[in-house]
Structure formats: structure tokens, C-alpha cells
Amino acid sequence: ATGFNGWGMAHGVVAAQLNTDLICGRKNEFADLYAPTRFKPVTSAPQLLKTGFSTAKHFIGDRLSHGDKKAVEKLKAGDACVLTIDGIRLALYRGKDGELHALSATCTHMGCIVNWNPAEESWDCPCHGSRFAADGTVIHGPAVKDLEKKEL
Ligand code: FES
């Protein structure tokens, strides 16, 4: 049981129950849904293309939008934004103490641009699901390196 694309907390539990049932010879209603043979290249092609297109869209499109530099002045404590300053994509976060923190907005996995997740107060990568704490520390892979700290 692997490759749950950031949904391992839920799918891991289902996989554990399913594997337990398989080992014990019991029927499990999710067996077909999780069967390794469920992948059908022809019927799965549209979804694969859609996922690949979405990743490419974020990889390219997120580099083209520069954001509003005035957003930095408007940032309240606990808020964040992504801006391009002097050609560098920055992930900016204003701490609860009012201090402004700057990180590279480039995900250390494969280079997509991270987005601020206000609900979790984390930097989330739209491409493969890496998540970083407000200070850039890796919370969840596939990225293994923290976001680079930057000077303003
Ligand atoms: Fe892959 Fe960010 S580029 S998780």
C-alpha cells in the first residue's frame, strides 16, 4: 500500500484494514478499489493527462504571476503571500510577532511554486503534495529539503 498522493492518513488506515482482511481470508468491500490490477491504461489515460496538465500548469503558470508587491504591506500577523521580488519567487510570512519571514517559494522537490495554506498555516506544493511549515521546514514529502531562507 503506497502512492496515496498526500492522502496516506486516510488510505493507510483503509489499506491496513484491507490487508488484515486479506491475510485472515475475510471479504473486504474495498478490495476491488485498492486492487493493484485496477489500473487500466486506456480508461485511466484522461485522468493521467489531466493530472500531468495540472502539474505543468502550476509549474509554468505560477512562475508567470508576480503578485502585488503592496500585498507585503497589507500582510497581517499570521498571513502570507507569494511574490516575485528582483526576479526571485519569495514565500513571505508575517509571524504572530509581526516579523516578516522570507523563504524561496520554489519547492525543493522538483521546483514548483508553493502556496500558502491558511487553514494549516503551511506552505503547500500543488504539484506533488509536499508541505512545509511556516518557517520552511519540511512537514510532508516527497520533498526532503526545507525551503531556503532568504534575506529581504
Ligand atoms: Fe514535487 Fe513540490 S515539486 S512536491
Instruction: Kindly give the number of the ligand 1 atom that is closest to the alpha carbon of 59.
Output: 3
User: What's the burial of 105, exposed, middle or buried (CB within 10 Å: 0-12/13-18/19+)?
Assistant: buried
Beta strands of the chain (E only): which ranges? Answer: 80-85, 88-94, 100-104, 115-117, 122-124, 131-133, 138-140, 149-150
141 Cα nearest atom in ligand 1? 4
Q: 82 alpha carbon to ligand 1 midpoint, in Å? A: 16
Amino acid at 111: G
| C-alpha R_g of the chain | 19
β-pair type (131-133, 122-124): antiparallel
Model pTM score: 0.62
Rounded CA separation 75/49 (Å): 37
List the chain pLDDT tens, one digit each, 152 residues. Answer: 777 766 778 888 999 999 999 999 999 998 888 887 877 777 777 776 776 666 666 655 555 555 666 777 788 888 899 988 878 889 999 988 888 899 999 999 999 999 999 888 999 999 888 999 999 999 998 999 999 999 87
Q: Which of 55, 110, 144 to mutate to test the pocket of ligand 1 (most atoms within 8 A of CB)?
A: 110
CA distance 30 to 37: 13
